[in-house]
Every structure is written in C-alpha cells, then in structure tokens.
Amino acid sequence: MKSLEIRMSAARQSRHRSCGWFKILPIFLLWSLVSVPGRAYADEFFVETGGVKTRTEAQSLLDAAAAHGLSARVVRRFRRGEGWEFVVRVDGLVDRDAAKEVAASLSRYTGTSVGIYLSAGKDVLPLDEVAVGPAAAPAPPAPTAQPAVLDNPVTVALTPAVLPAGDPVVGMELLAAVIRAHGGGASANTDLGSASSLHFRFERQVWVDEGLLRVWHDYSREGTATRLEIRILEGEGKDSTTLLRKGEGAWILVDGKLLPQEVVPIEETLESFQPDRVLDKALDLARLGSGKTAVYVGSEDEDGRTLARLLVGGSDGGAVLSLGIDQADHRVRDLTVSTSSGKIGWRYGDYHDLPGGPVVPYQIELTRDGTPKERISVLDLASPARAEAVLFSPDSLKKPQ
C-alpha cells in the first residue's frame, strides 16, 4: 500500500491551492484512492442489442441467438423522444472480457450492433459497442486522446449584436442576470460542504499520456461517517471502497482485503471527493460579480444557441475571464481564462436547480488550449433525509454489495 500512501500525501498537498480562477482540480486527485492495475467488479456486466420497434422483431433476434445456444431475453423500455422499444439482452456476465465475447457472438448471430454495459449501483454505464461487420476486418481502435466535447460545438459564426457591444452598463446588467441564474450569489460551496447527509455519484474521465482513464465514484456522508466507492471502468487501477468513521477508525477494501488505515490521511483524501471540491468552479459561478467589472463584446450563434460574449475582470487588474452566456437562460456555457502557459477553459451543460439554491451543471469539461483534458458527469447529487446506517458499518465492507 506504499503507493497509495504516496498518492494520499499528494492529495493533502493539493489543499493548499490558490483561490483564484487559475486553480484547477488536479488530475492526480483522481488517483488518490486508486491503487495498482486491476479490473472492475466481476458480476454486473450485461450486453444488449440496439432497440427495435416491435416485440416481433425482437423475438426474431432472440430466436437467432437461441439457435446458436445463447441464452438471452427480450426487454421492453421507454426511450425519451422515441417511445417504446425492445432489445435483446444477455445478463450475468462475469467480467468485461466475457462480455466482449458474448457481445461479439450476439452481434454475429443477430446482425446488429451490440452494446456492453456495467451496472454500478443505480447507474447503467456504457463501456463498449461491438459493431456489425466481418470478423476478418475489424474496425480500427477508437481514439482516446481526442474525445467529443460537450454540446457538440460547431464553428462559431458571429451575428449582428442585438445589444450595444463594448457597453459596460449592458455588461454589468448581463453579469447580474448571470449571478441570479446561478443561484443569486448563494453560498453553494458552503451548503454542499456542510450538509450532514449527502449522496454524490459521478463519473470522471481523464485523458493522460497512457490513454483514457474512466472512473465511477459513489460518495456518501452521514454525520461524521463517510464512504467512497470507486470502480475503474477503463484504464489502469483497482476498485476500492473506503470508509471513515471519525473517532473510531478508517478502512479500505481492495482485492477482497479489508485494511485498517490512519484516520487523518483518509479524512484529508476524502475531502477531495466532496462535491464542493469536485465542482468548485461551477459552484463559483454564483459569485462571479464580487469586485468584478464586465463588458459585453457581442453575440454569437453556437449549436442552436445564441451566446452573449462577456469579458469579466477584477477591479484590481486581475485575470480577465471570457464567458459565453446562453441568452435564453443567462447560464454560462463556457468560460476561458488566458494564462502564461496557455488558455484554460471550462464547458458547462445539463444544469440542475438543487433544493436550497445551488445551481449545478451535471456536465463539465476542462480544456487546455482547446484540447479536452478532463470531463465530469454528475449522476446524482442530493441531501437525503438520512442515509442507510448499514453503509457506514465496517461489517458492510466484508459482504458483497
């Protein structure tokens, strides 16, 4: 576990970041509770065909699979915007390799594309897709270094401004509207950080030299007890579950072994996975106006939206931020700051209004000089009345979840 202790030390050092917009959640925090290479949980994989409109079509696919000895079933589901559909599904696959083999067979027998999925708690996470095609001519591997960015951006075309460009009065009015649209200056960080009961599930993708690292997190807190479950969906690492009970102890479950840990390092590391730390930039959008000046510089059309471009700077001569603001709801879709080492950007989408005031984008992407580096997808963020007590018992780590 020495490597784990080194990563925890790195996570502790990250707490001393500056408070300006130059600070970025360090990528290495992702590794602070991920150990050496391994594979994900082995009993929650399944594969299924693409959807068809009628049960008769699905039954034909099922019969084709059954004729080759493949045990499958038909599942009916509702797809938003398209209505009911049917898929042929194979459950109970022991690991990802087995799922790939079954997916290839199901695709070959049915003549359809087949997806590979992992059930993680309440989430169903897509892993791979096996496309229809001759086995002798496999498709080239999918690139991992250049992912698609949020909201499918297109080449930006400037349009005639509906507001007077360069007007600081209009700029300040727009900035005030942005602050209201993001929660009216509410202390979102404080609210999420101090909630006595909290549940936060998210997936993080990081593009590193070795390729794509994709990790699922399930963070729960109840009073002084905290639990974090990590599953590696793609890339190097091992699944783990960490439990902290202040005043009692801390434990990590990895490779089926329950290992006692020192409380203080675990406590400091778990803080890095709180929503107010993972989402800090997005939550700070509610407080952009403190001591800032703003100038409206024009509007632009992007992917069906009209974005007002706003330059926001500190009255003390600090860094200038470029904001792309959706003129329909006044919420920030992109934010860019120029530094001596290049341009750092954030893209935001899928906004949710949480009870109590915080407005949170559930899709966040970090870029450097226009190249995607990290993406966060929030799956659930809530303050339940009370979490299940059994989750925070050391005995729960000894049993399959």
115: domain CATH number? 3.30.70
- In this prediction, residue 49 carries a pLDDT of 92
Residues 77 and 150 both lie in one domain:
no
Query: Span 293-305, mean pLDDT?
Result: 84
Query: Span 362-385, mean pLDDT?
Result: 88
Residues 204 and 240 both lie in one domain:
yes
CA distances from 254 to 34, 199, 246 (A): 9, 22, 21
* Total residues belonging to the chain: 401
Is position 101 within any domain?
A: yes
CATH at 283: 2.50.20
Predicted confidence (pLDDT) per residue in 22-36, tens digit: 343 333 344 445 443
Per-residue pLDDT at 212 exceeds 60: yes
**Residue 129 host element (H or E):** strand 123-130
Predicted confidence (pLDDT) per residue in 123-148, tens digit: 677 887 877 754 333 334 444 434 43
CA distances from 108 to 58, 132, 135 (A): 15, 7, 9
- In this prediction, residue 148 carries a pLDDT of 37
Of 12-16, 42-46, 74-78, 352-356, where does mean pLDDT reach its minimum?
Answer: 12-16
Burial (CB count within 10 angstroms: exposed 0-12, middle 13-18, buried 19+), residue 89: buried
Confidence of residue 377 (pLDDT cuts 50, 70, 90): very high
Q: Among 130, 155, 183, identify where a domain stops.
A: 130
Residues 165 and 116 both lie in one domain:
no
Range of the domain at 183: 146-401
Tally of domains in the chain: 2
Residue type at position 120: A
Is position 73 within any domain?
A: yes
Per-residue pLDDT at 237 exceeds 70: yes
Is position 122 within any domain?
A: yes
Per-residue pLDDT at 351 exceeds 60: yes
pTM for this predicted structure: 0.64
- In this prediction, residue 130 carries a pLDDT of 78
Is position 36 within any domain?
A: no
- In this prediction, residue 70 carries a pLDDT of 81
> How far is the C-alpha of 99 from the C-alpha of 169, rounded, in Å?
59
- In this prediction, residue 286 carries a pLDDT of 81
**Residue 55 host element (H or E):** helix 55-66
Per-residue pLDDT at 372 exceeds 80: yes
Contact 269, 33 (CB under 8 A): yes
- In this prediction, residue 276 carries a pLDDT of 85
Predicted confidence (pLDDT) per residue in 148-170, tens digit: 344 433 323 323 344 556 666 78
> How far is the C-alpha of 378 from the C-alpha of 278, rounded, in Å?
10
Residues 291 and 353 both lie in one domain:
yes
Q: Look at strands 305-314 and 292-302 and give their pairing.
A: antiparallel
Residues 317 and 209 both lie in one domain:
yes
- In this prediction, residue 39 carries a pLDDT of 37
Predicted confidence (pLDDT) per residue in 242-263, tens digit: 999 988 899 999 988 889 999 9
Q: Among 97, 130, 163, identify where a domain stops.
A: 130
Query: Span 41-53, mean pLDDT?
Result: 77
Query: Span 269-273, mean pLDDT?
Result: 90
**Residue 176 host element (H or E):** helix 168-181
Query: Span 287-315, mean pLDDT?
Result: 81
